[in-house]
């Protein structure tokens, strides 16, 4: 995509120089993607899929959150330190949730 290449070129110049601002058109496309995913989430939740319903809901929410983080929050264009920090924060959250479920899953 045009916007990603210009922004990536900006990032190559080093951390001191901010990347080019994302274009209105590109941001609108991200928003359109988020709207489509929201419509899909609502539609899928109306179909009875059993345990798959929660998997679909969380998967689609994860996809939406990724669009927000990478493009609206510009994470895609940040340096590796900030990327690594965000990655670690989510790893810590995943460990907390995962370990809790090892407990809760065998309790009831």
SS3 of residue 73 by DSSP: coil
Residues ≥6 apart with Cβ < 8 Å to 60? 37, 40, 41, 44
Residues near other proteins, by CB under 8 A? 15-18, 21-24, 27-28, 30-31, 34-35, 38, 41-42, 45, 53-54, 57-58, 60-61, 64-65, 68-69, 71-74, 78-79, 81-82, 85-86, 89-90, 92-93, 96-97, 100-101, 104-105, 107-108
Closer by beta carbon to other proteins, 12 or else 16: 16
């Amino acid at each position: 995509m045009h916007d990603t290449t210009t922004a990536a070129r900006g990032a190559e110049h080093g951390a001191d120089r901010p990347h080019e601002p994302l274009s209105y058109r590109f941001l609108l496309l991200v928003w359109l993607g988020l709207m489509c995913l929201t419509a899909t989430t609502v539609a899928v939740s109306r179909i009875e899929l059993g345990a798959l319903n929660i998997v679909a809901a969380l998967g689609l929410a994860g996809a939406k959150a990724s669009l927000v983080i990478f493009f609206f929050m510009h994470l895609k264009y940040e340096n590796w330190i900030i990327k690594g920090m965000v990655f670690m924060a989510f790893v810590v959250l995943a460990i907390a949730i995962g370990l809790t479920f090892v407990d809760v899953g065998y309790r009831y």
